[in-house]
């Protein structure tokens, strides 16, 4: 085992950025087509939400700059049109002092210029918005992969999915429209300057109602923000219900609870509907006022300006151009209500995204990590006290020592902490007190990637991906060839049923592998772990759903594979104990007995009681009569010797706990 920091340039980068992956221990199956953004949001929570997005936006500053320049040229062309129209009316139509043709060509040129550059800036701004959308998705996903299990223990998956989709969409839409709104405001300022140069009194009449528009807009903004937060939150609630019903469809259908779930979704949808309707009502009340107040200015301008034209104090072309500029003044206010709603929704969505990105992982690499390279495989739990969150201690002073190459079966009643051991060794959680160590080094001092690369874990409820069986088995070694995958499948007794599938190893399995039986999923999970060939292996009731005769064949294959490998077998079935060199009995979060199966049977009554209780809960979904066959198989190995005498003193035909089973 390496106990010093590696010296290569790649490893130096790993030390400078603990979150960066270590290619030696984190296999990559494909060549990425897209690079990581390389930036993240500002960690300063005191900044406004747009400023916190600054580093991400700054990454695309060149595209933003070009788009803004194109927008400015398009805006200049737009603002020049009323001036040309003014000259056309006054000089070519009214006084007839100049030809009409040059003015027509000037208007055509301005129209083409504005059209071309409007396309350029809209394309550029929308491209920038979608690039930021991609960056945010990548940043969130990378951050989610670094967060600890404790985070996922307390948050609903629908909430995470909503923030990584609809919330990002809200931010992306705002970033696309905000520069357009800024251009409208700029046109407002320039148009106002032109109007002041034409006639100050007319300009004051035109902007007479604008302060009222501003006050109504502020009121709308303050009203919309909390509603936007509620809308996004309730969208997440709906997503959670849908996600749980899709993934748990078998449970829903088995209890004929479709109607109940539809009602649950209906209540959530009604709450969402209420919030969205309130949002629409707010716009309906405020937007007409904001749009129509500027038209009061138009009426005053036409009244006073028309009188000036009649009196000969103002030319007809001037009043026409003035009205064109008034329309430019109105454009931002027509969009103001929509833009404020969009901005408040984006602000609420951004803050929900920041809640995720501000979450700090509990489990991180130390500053100077020790790389676990070719470990011997000694495992020690010393005085370990651990509980989930603020809950009671699941492990209470656990002392367990496993020698390199030793296979240990851990036995105990439900809730005694067996599976928790499997979660602490690869450091999914940190202990409250005590130490968990590998080869004498506390796992909190080890590099996470190297630790988890050397600790293989097979759970009783394996997760499979919606891809081919080959890719599922090769998940930990994407570069493995078909022969290596087949060899691992043979060892896990999975090759036979895989060959019978329509496309063999290229068969695409359904979501979570539910197109396969529980035993088939477990065998694929075992093959997946065996292919990685970890130095330390944890089997957490990994054959609970497998037929006893198939399990026996798996065990025969595993006996050869486990030689020289440190293995922890969390056992609920009698047959699994045959794999172990030593059996550990747990109770109340600590080890209460340790020894061989026969010695524990002879001297530890609690051990026999636990085994007898385990027989009553076979959990076999592939063989309805699996319990009887398991008992016969274990009896043939001598594992049941003495159980009946210990827990059923009346004998095989008596009324003790084993009565009716023997």
The token duo for 390 is 């603020």
CA distances from 423 to 48, 353, 387, 413, 593 (A): 39, 29, 12, 18, 22
Q: For position 453, what pLDDT does the model report?
A: 87
pLDDT computed for residue 549 by the predictor: 65
Rounded Cα gap, residues 165 and 236, in angstroms: 10
610 three-state secondary structure = helix
380: three-class secondary structure by DSSP: strand
- In angstroms, the CA 74 to CA 117 distance is 5
Is-contact 437 371, C-beta < 8 A? no
Distance CA 577, CA 589 (A): 20
CA nearest to 519, candidates 461, 456, 577, 473: 461
Task: Name the pTM for this structure.
Answer: 0.69
Concatenated DSSP letters of 39-101: ----S-TTS-HHHHTHHHHHTTHHHHHHHHHHHHHHHHHHHHHHHHHHHIIIIIIIS--S-SH
Q: What is the pLDDT of residue 652?
A: 39
Residue 544 · residue 626 · CB < 8 Å:
no
| Segments making up each domain of the chain, as ranges | 49-357, 379-460+535-647
Backbone angles phi, psi at 245, to 5 degrees: -75, -35
Cα 499 vs. chain centroid, distance in angstroms?
35
> How far is 43 from 552, CA to CA, in rounded Å?
55
CA dihedral of residues 254, 259, 264, 269 (deg, nearest 10): 130
Q: What pLDDT is recorded for position 29?
A: 61
Q: What's the token pair of residue 52? A: 């916190």
**Dihedrals phi, psi of 381, to nearest 5 degrees:** -115, 115
> Is there a contact between 132 and 175 (Cβ–Cβ < 8 Å)?
yes
- Per-residue exposure over 600-615, b if at least 16 CB sit within 10 Å of its own CB, e if not: bbeebeebbebbbebb
335/362 Cα distance (integer angstroms): 45
Please count the other Cβ atoms lying within 10 Å of the Cβ belonging to residue 119. Answer: 12
H-state helical runs in 533-621: 548-561, 597-603, 605-615
User: 513: buried, middle or exposed (CB in 10 Å: 19+, 13-18, 0-12)?
Assistant: buried
541: helix, strand or coil:
coil
Residue 538 phi, psi (nearest 5) = -120, 120
- Which H or E run contains 398? strand 395-402
The CATH number corresponding to 379-460+535-647 among 3.40.50.80, 3.40.50.300, 3.20.20.450, 3.30.9.10 equals 3.40.50.300
- Say how far apart CA 149 and CA 652 lie, in whole Å: 47
pLDDT profile of the chain (662 residues), mean per 10:
42 41 63 74 86 89 90 87 85 76 89 92 89 89 86 80 82 83 79 81 79 76 77 80 74 76 86 86 80 76 82 80 76 69 82 89 89 90 91 90 91 87 92 93 92 86 85 88 91 88 86 76 87 88 66 69 82 74 90 88 85 56 40 45 44 36 30
First and final C-alpha spacing in the chain = 49
Please name the residues in contact with 529: beta carbons below 8 A apart, sequence gap of 6 or more: 456, 457, 458, 476, 537
Domain 49-357 has CATH 1.20.1560.10: yes
* Phi, psi of 442, deg, nearest 5: -60, 135
Which helix (H) or strand (E) segment holds residue 223: the answer is: helix 210-247
* Beta bridge mates, 436: 381
The two tokens of residue 619 are 């959990």
Q: Provide the pairing of β-strand 407-412 with 582-587.
A: parallel
CA pair distance 134, 140, nearest whole angstrom: 10
Residues 6+ apart with CB under 8 A from 260: none
């Amino acid at each position: 085992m390496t106990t010093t920091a590696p010296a290569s340039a790649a490893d130096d980068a790993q030390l400078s950025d603990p979150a960066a992956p270590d290619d030696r221990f984190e296999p990559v199956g494909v060549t990425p087509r897209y690079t990581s953004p390389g930036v993240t949001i500002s960690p300063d929570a005191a900044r406004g939400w747009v400023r916190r997005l600054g580093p991400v936006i700054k990454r695309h500053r060149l595209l933003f700059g070009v788009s803004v320049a194109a927008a400015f040229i398009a805006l200049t062309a737009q603002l020049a049109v009323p001036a040309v129209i003014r000259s056309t009316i006054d000089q070519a139509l009214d006084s007839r002092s100049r030809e009409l043709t040059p003015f027509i060509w000037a208007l055509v040129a301005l129209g083409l210029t504005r059209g071309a550059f409007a396309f350029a800036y809209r394309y550029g701004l929308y491209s920038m918005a979608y690039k930021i959308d991609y960056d945010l998705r990548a940043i969130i996903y990378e951050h989610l992969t670094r967060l600890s299990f404790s985070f996922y223990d307390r948050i609903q998956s629908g909430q995470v999915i909503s923030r990584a989709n609809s919330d990002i969409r809200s931010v992306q839409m705002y970033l696309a429209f905000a520069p357009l709104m800024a251009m409208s405001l700029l046109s407002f300022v320039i148009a106002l300057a032109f109007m002041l140069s034409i006639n100050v009194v007319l300009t004051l009449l035109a902007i007479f109602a604008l302060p009222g528009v501003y006050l109504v807009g502020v009121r709308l903004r303050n009203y919309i923000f909390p509603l936007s937060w509620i809308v996004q939150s309730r969208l997440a609630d709906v997503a959670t219900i849908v996600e749980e019903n899709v993934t748990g469809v078998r449970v829903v259908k088995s209890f004929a609870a479709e109607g109940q779930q539809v009602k649950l979704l209906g209540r959530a949808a009604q709450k969402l509907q209420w919030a969205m309707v309130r949002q629409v009502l707010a716009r309906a009340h405020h937007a007409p006022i904001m749009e129509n107040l500027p038209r009061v200015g138009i009426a005053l301008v036409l009244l006073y300006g028309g009188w000036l034209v009649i009196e000969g104090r103002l030319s007809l072309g001037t009043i026409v151009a003035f009205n064109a500029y008034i329309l430019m003044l109105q454009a931002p206010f027509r969009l103001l209500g929509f833009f404020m709603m969009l901005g408040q929704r984006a602000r609420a969505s951004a803050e929900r995204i920041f809640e995720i990105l501000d979450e700090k992982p509990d489990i991180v690499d130390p500053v100077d990590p020790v790389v676990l390279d070719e470990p011997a495989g000694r495992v020690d739990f010393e005085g370990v006290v651990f509980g989930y969150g603020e809950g009671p201690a699941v492990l209470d002073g656990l002392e367990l020592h496993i020698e390199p190459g030793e296979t240990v079966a851990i036995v105990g009643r439900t809730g005694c902490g067996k599976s928790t051991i499997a979660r602490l060794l690869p450091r999914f959680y940190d202990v409250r007190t005590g130490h968990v160590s590998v080869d004498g080094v506390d796992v909190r001092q080890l590099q996470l990637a190297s630790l988890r690369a050397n600790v293989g874990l097979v759970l009783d409820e394996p997760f499979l991906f919606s891809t081919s069986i080959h890719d599922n088995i090769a998940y930990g070694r994407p570069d493995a060839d078909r022969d290596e995958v087949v060899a691992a499948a043979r060892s896990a007794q999975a090759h036979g049923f895989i060959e019978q599938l329509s496309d063999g190893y290229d068969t695409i399995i359904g979501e979570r592998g539910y197109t396969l039986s529980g035993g088939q999923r477990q065998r694929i999970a075992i093959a997946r772990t065996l292919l990685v060939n970890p130095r330390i292996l944890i089997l957490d009731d990994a054959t609970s759903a497998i037929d006893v005769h198939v399990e026996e064949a798996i065990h025969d294959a595993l006996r050869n594979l486990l030689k020289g490998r440190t293995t922890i077998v969390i056992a609920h079935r009698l047959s699994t104990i045959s794999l172990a060199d030593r059996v550990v009995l747990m109770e109340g979060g600590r080890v209460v007995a340790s020894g061989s199966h026969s010695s524990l049977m002879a001297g530890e009554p609690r051990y026999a009681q636990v085994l007898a209780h385990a027989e009553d809960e076979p959990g076999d979904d592939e063989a309805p009569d699996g319990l009887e066959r398991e008992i016969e198989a274990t009896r043939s190995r001598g594992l049941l010797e003495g159980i009946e005498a210990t827990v059923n003193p009346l004998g095989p035909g008596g009324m003790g706990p084993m009565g009716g089973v023997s």
